Chain A
Amino acid sequence: MPHQIRWNHEDPRRTSVHWMGSEPDIKEERVLEEVRRITERYHTRDGLRELVAEIYNTAPYEFQKKFREVFDVIYEYKNRRIEIKNFNSDFFYPMVERALHSFPKDDFKVVFKDVEPLREAIKMLDFKQHGDYIIELLENFWFYFAYYLRVKAHENVPRETLMYWKSVLPEETERYRRYFADIMIELQSVTGKSDILRDIIKKRLERREEEERIFEEFERDLEGLQEFLSGYGYAAKG
């Protein structure tokens, strides 16, 4: 990659790329031609899939490729582009199982602790009945894993951004575990039958009680906040 290209990941939600140097010796028409070639090739739904597949071919972990295949299948199944008999038991769960089996546990020890509960939940739930929950669970696990992955596998990321990424890991772990436990509670008529999940549900319910107590205490304290702010140059609530 030319050394004049500077990547800025300072804003976690947006990456900017700058050319730092004299004007490159390339004709504008040549750049536009390349943009046209790329957009023509990838602008369709299948083209986008091809592009994602190409990107995943260079993914550092086998797990990423296998997990993406799970998403491909469930989105296709959900949109009924494919019809499979005994989808859950014969196809879907074994596929998830294979993907989770390839999880890089040595490189992601914290996230690995959450693999078994996820596997158990997917095993207990039926795609026909709980398809939306399953998709949500898998997507959230994927995002959670991605917070750790970006710290491990990255290119051209400034040290400051890396420090920020590392600093949010504990809170993202907690957020994911809270989310997962809340879903297990919502589905506890099914998930409560599993020893692993029952334990997660029990701990979360205890934690919720504690949260409720904290909330009640603060509700009293927060009364009058708006008035206080208005004294500091804020308009009162209209």
Chain B
Amino acid sequence: MLDTCVFDDRDFIRRLRGYRGKKVLPAVAFCELLVYLMGKRGRTLEQVKRYLKAADITVEPFRFGEAVKAAEIGIMTGDFKENARDIMIASHAAIAPWKLITFNKKDFSFLGDRVISPQEFRDVSGV
């Protein structure tokens, strides 16, 4: 499961194409990506969808289970007001088998071993 920030690392995203497992982008991270690519770079929704398809990345909806999990994390950390988007992204990875890949591990420390860096992912997956 990918955090938005990893898209800034072209080498990682390219390598990720060679990974055959499921690659998922949480709905909130997808929203952030759209704000940047549509708002700042003038891309259309269709173009962004084509890009994700080319990368074999699927968008995972924010559903009932994630909402409950995000609420639990928000209550536990006490900083939902400041970190609502991070918490909503993290809620997808709080349940096995998914892990969140991000450059900002410390922001997701409440996930424990369910958060890894792109480098750690490369080391375990071999991509």
Contacts and interface: CB of A to CB of B under 8 A. Distances in A.
B65 A11 contact: yes
B5 to A, nearest CB: 5
Interface residues of B, number: 39
A164 B8 CA distance: 31
Given A215-B54, A234-B5, A228 B107 contact: no
A223 B20 contact: no
A222 B7 contact: yes
A179 B56 CA distance: 10
A3 B32 CA distance: 44
A81 interface: no
A219 B10 CA distance: 6
A120 interface: no
Contact of B4 (A182, A219, A229): A229
A87 B91 CA distance: 47
Contacts of B13: 215, 219, 222
A27 B22 CA distance: 44
A10 B58 contact: no
A164 B5 contact: no
Interface string A139-173: 00000000000000000000010001000100100
Contacts, number: 83
B5 A237 contact: yes
B54 A221 contact: no
Contacts of B5: 225-226, 229, 234, 237
A54 interface: no
B65 A228 contact: no
A228 B4 CA distance: 11
A229 B103 CA distance: 12
A168 to B, nearest CB: 8
B95 A226 contact: no
Interface string B39-68: 011010000001101111010010111000
A62 interface: no
Contacts of B104: 234-235, 237
A218 B79 CA distance: 34
Contacts of B53: 174
B36 A225 contact: yes
Contact of A13 (B37, B51, B96): B96
Contacts of A160: 64
B51 A228 contact: no
Contact of A226 (B20, B64, B103): B103
A10 B63 contact: yes
A11 B4 CA distance: 23
30 contacts: A10-B63, A10-B65, A11-B65, A11-B95, A13-B96, A13-B97, A13-B98, A164-B63, A168-B58, A175-B22, A175-B56, A179-B20, A182-B20, A210-B54, A211-B17, A215-B54, A215-B55, A222-B37, A223-B10, A225-B8, A225-B36, A226-B5, A226-B103, A228-B36, A229-B36, A232-B32, A233-B82, A234-B5, A235-B107, A238-B103
Interface of B: 4-5, 7-8, 10, 13-14, 17, 20, 22, 32-33, 36-37, 40-41, 43, 50-51, 53-56, 58, 61, 63-65, 82-83, 85, 95-98, 103-104, 106-107
